């Protein structure tokens, strides 16, 4: 991507191109837009525990922050929330709208970016985001998140983590399935979280997939079950090992 293209424009173009590729599949097989909650909640080991951290969503005002394909927005709406969702990519917003319609739920979608949210102050009780913060300027995005999150509200974000140098080398140098990223994005690090901690001093970080990161290259179920068991033991006995994990779940509360 040419360096002269602004960062957010480059991000939008990248994800619009992804959405365009995906739309052809859904035109051929519209039934693929429908899904069960478990299809989303169990597609990675961190998703269900992260979603549980949002608490009971019945009657809550919820935001799918950087909604992408919109599956989280649908699951939140099924859980009884009043849901809004945004994404930088108009192409992904269209897909998410089609998915919500196909699954029979109402969601308010809009095209926007996380650094300039089009919502009033204290609008949301719960915010969900998946692989979105590492695309953003966390000084600006953190201030906006603080502004739209209601007092006592909770926000949960699942993010790729950059604390493991061996994993970093693999991400940079080796091919693996699903390796797609924009020119400017990097996994989060402890230093990168400083602006978010400024706005949310009680930020909590939990690591996932230490041994389980082998999912990127291995699909043998007994091996993956063993890796998950090792993760549970290692992360309980050595809490600091989360810094070597593939992904983290960030939880913040407003007040």
Give mean pLDDT, residues 40-58.
97
Q: Residues 245-255: what's their mean pLDDT?
A: 96
Q: What is the pLDDT of residues 153-193, one digit of tens each?
A: 999 999 999 988 777 667 666 555 555 667 667 899 999 99
Residue 2 has pLDDT above 50, yes or no: no
Domain region containing 221: 7-253
Question: Would residue 137 count as lying in a domain?
Answer: yes
- Say if CB 133 and CB 141 are below 8 A apart: yes
Domain-located, residue 192: yes
Task: State the virtual CA torsion across 210, 215, 221, 224 in degrees, nearest 10.
Answer: -10
Name 105's Cβ contacts closer than 8 Å, sequence gap at least 6: 73, 74, 77, 78, 83
What was the pLDDT predicted at 167?
A: 76
Please say if the pLDDT value at position 14 is more than 80.
Answer: yes
Residue 1 lies in a domain: no
H or E stretch at 224: helix 221-237
Mean pLDDT over residues 197-213, rounded? 96
CA separation, residue 18 to residues 114, 184, 223 (Å) = 19, 16, 32
Please, what is the Cα angle at 221 between 250 and 238, to 5 degrees? 40
Planar angle of CA 53, 56, 60, nearest 5 degrees: 110
Locate the DSSP E strands across the chain: 61-65, 82-87, 107-111, 124-130, 149-160, 204-208, 247-253
N- to C-terminal Cα separation, the chain? 40
Which of 19-23, 149-153, 196-200 is predicted least confidently? 19-23
> Once rounded to an integer, what is the mean pLDDT over residues 199-221?
93
At residue 2, the 3 state secondary structure works out as coil
What pTM does this model have? 0.90
- Residue 160 domain-assigned (yes or no): yes
Question: What is the token pair recorded at 186?
Answer: 């990097």
Domain for residue 126, yes or no?
yes
Q: What is the rounded CA–CA span in Å between residue 35 and residue 100?
A: 10
Q: Which residue has the higher pLDDT, 23 or 180?
A: 23
- E strand or H helix that includes residue 49: helix 47-52
Mean pLDDT of 71-81: 98
- In the chain, how many domains are there? 1
**Whole-angstrom distance, CA of residue 150 vs CA of residue 152:** 6
Percent of the chain scoring above 90 in pLDDT: 75
Q: What is the CATH number of the domain that holds 35?
A: 3.40.50.150
In this predicted structure, the answer to whether residue 230 has a pLDDT above a threshold of 90 is: yes
* Angle at CA of residue 78, ends 252 and 112, nearest 5°: 55
Report the pLDDT value the prediction gives residue 172, as an integer from 0 to 100. 65
Residue 78 in any domain: the answer is yes
The residue that leads in pLDDT, 169 or 23, is 23
24 occurs within a structural domain: yes
Are residues 247 and 207 in contact, defined by beta-carbon separation less than 8 angstroms? yes
Residue 25 resides in a domain = yes
Strands (E), 176-246: 204-208
Distance, in Å, from the CA atom of 27 to the CA atom of 203, rounded to the nearest integer, reads 41
**Cα distance between residue 236 and residue 250, in whole Å:** 18
Q: Quick check: 78 pLDDT over 80?
A: yes
Compute and round to an integer the Cα radius of gyration of the chain.
18
């Amino acid at each position: 991507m040419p360096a002269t293209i602004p960062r957010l424009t480059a991000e939008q173009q990248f994800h619009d191109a992804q959405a365009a590729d995906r739309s052809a599949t859904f035109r051929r097989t519209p039934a693929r837009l429908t899904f069960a909650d478990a299809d989303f909640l169990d597609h990675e080991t961190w998703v269900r525990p992260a979603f549980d951290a949002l608490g009971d969503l019945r009657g809550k005002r919820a935001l799918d922050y950087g909604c992408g394909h919109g599956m989280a927005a649908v699951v939140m709406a099924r859980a009884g929330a009043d849901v809004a969702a945004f994404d930088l990519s108009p192409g992904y917003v269209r897909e998410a709208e089609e998915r919500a319609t196909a699954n029979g739920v109402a969601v308010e979608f809009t095209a926007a970016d996380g650094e300039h949210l089009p919502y009033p102050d204290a609008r949301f009780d719960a915010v969900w985001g998946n692989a979105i913060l590492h695309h953003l300027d966390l000084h600006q995005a953190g201030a906006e998140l603080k502004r739209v999150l209601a007092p006592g509200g909770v926000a949960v974000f699942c993010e790729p983590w950059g604390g493991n140098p061996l994993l970093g080398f693999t991400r940079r140098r080796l091919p693996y399935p699903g390796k797609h990223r924009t020119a400017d994005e990097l996994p989060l690090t402890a230093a990168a979280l400083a602006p978010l901690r400024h706005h949310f001093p009680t930020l909590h970080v939990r690591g996932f997939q230490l041994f389980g990161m082998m999912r990127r290259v291995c699909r043998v179920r007994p091996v993956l079950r063993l890796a998950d068991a090792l993760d549970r033991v290692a992360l309980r006995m050595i809490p600091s090992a989360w810094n070597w994990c593939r992904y983290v779940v960030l939880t913040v509360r407003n007040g």
